[in-house]
Amino acid sequence: MSDNVWTIHPLSDHRWSEFVEKHANASVFHTIGWLTALRDTYGYEPIAITTSPPSEQLTNALLFCVVSSWLTRSRLVSLPFTDHCEPLVDNNEQLRTLYGYLETLRTTRQWTYTEMRTSGAMLDAEERFKKCAVYHWHRLDLRPDLDTLYKGFHKDCIRRRICHAERQGLTYEEGRNNFLLRSFYSLVVLMRGRKKLPPQPFEWFQHLIGSMGKDVSIRVAFRGDRPVAGILTMDHRKTMYYKYGASDAQFHHLGAIPMLLWQAIRAAKSAGLVELDLGRSDIEDRGLIMFKERWGARRTQLTLWRNPVDEASLSFERLQMRLARIVCTYAPHKMLILAGRLMYRHVG
């Protein structure tokens, strides 16, 4: 505690879950379930800072994970492997107070930098934080009725592909059992292998299901007994989050991913949800951006901020990523799986 700012541990602070349920800017990425999966898979310890005394209800907080790495340096990230993590504050004054303490904490603990991923404009006023990357973030409003939503999808690229999948006799299963998880993960390995990238560790998805329970759903499309596409979604309050998708390239022409997303939208409507969060996209990834916008999703900007910014360090990080890609280009799938288990904890 310093200058009326307290460091708390969300996984053990009994106030955290209620706070996240109530705060307007909170998302699934602030929840105990998501934080527990990050800790159990990668060893990241979540911490938060707040101006709320321990004896009072939480009214504000900045949430981070401590990423300790001999390879990529120790740092404070809000949050690793997370599309966005908004500051849970109500005004700029709270933000300035928390950032002042955050900088003291960073230098005292000798963390190399602090990183945040937000859509708001509050950080523009913080001279210490600089923009390091910009992404697009897409969300689909689910408040219209299903017929209106369906008519808003691109006729050729979405609606016809949904119909085509149905005519091809694809079946799908939804749940979170071990069979569906392994079917989905086999598709993740295939997709990441096509891109010459290591897949996320299998344990990551196991821990997500274990810590989030019924708020996680896996949907897998099958042609006969063969899995051809799968998606993983998460629910929090009134929003469904489309976090992961994967498919077998041999069967792209069947339209399985559009079919699965349409089934997810129908389920979200039945559950009374009002928004589908389609996640972030690299601004250079025109194909992914176009796919999301053909569903009628609206685009906003996400920014990755750092304090301090060291251009030499950023250049070194980019070099590390290029070298890793070169190595992965020639690695067989089994080696990519092993690389994922070894590397992911260093890159969050």
CATH number of the domain that residue 230 is part of: 3.40.630.30
Residues 108 and 152 in one domain: no
Residue 295, in any domain of the structure: no
Residues 159 and 266 in one domain: yes
Residues 34 and 130 in one domain: yes
DSSP state of 283: T
Q: What is the mean pLDDT of residues 327-339?
A: 69
Give the residue ranges of DSSP H helices in 152-225. 160-167, 178-194, 202-212
pTM value is 0.93
Instruction: State the pLDDT at residue 74.
Output: 87
Structure tokens at 273: 């949800």
Instruction: State the pLDDT at residue 312.
Output: 43
Residues 133 and 245 in one domain: no
Residue 331, in any domain of the structure: no
Residues 125 and 236 in one domain: no
Residues 126 and 24 in one domain: yes
User: Domain of 175?
Assistant: 143-273
Residues 74 and 26 in one domain: yes
Task: Evaluate whether 264 touches 295 at the Cβ level (below 8 Å).
Answer: no
**How many other β-carbons are positioned within 10 Å of the β-carbon of residue 34?**
27
Residues 52 and 173 in one domain: no
pLDDT at 239 over 70: yes
Residue 283, in any domain of the structure: no
Greater pLDDT, 325 or 207: 207
Residues 216 and 190 in one domain: yes
Residue 261, in any domain of the structure: yes
Residues 73 and 130 in one domain: yes
The rounded mean pLDDT for the chain is 91
Residues 12 and 38 in one domain: yes
Residue 199, in any domain of the structure: yes
Distance (Å, whole) CA 28 – CA 21: 10
Residues 130 and 149 in one domain: no
pLDDT at 289 over 80: yes
pLDDT at 316 over 50: no
Highest mean pLDDT among 41-50, 110-119, 312-321: 41-50
Instruction: State the pLDDT at residue 70.
Output: 76
Domains: count for the chain: 2
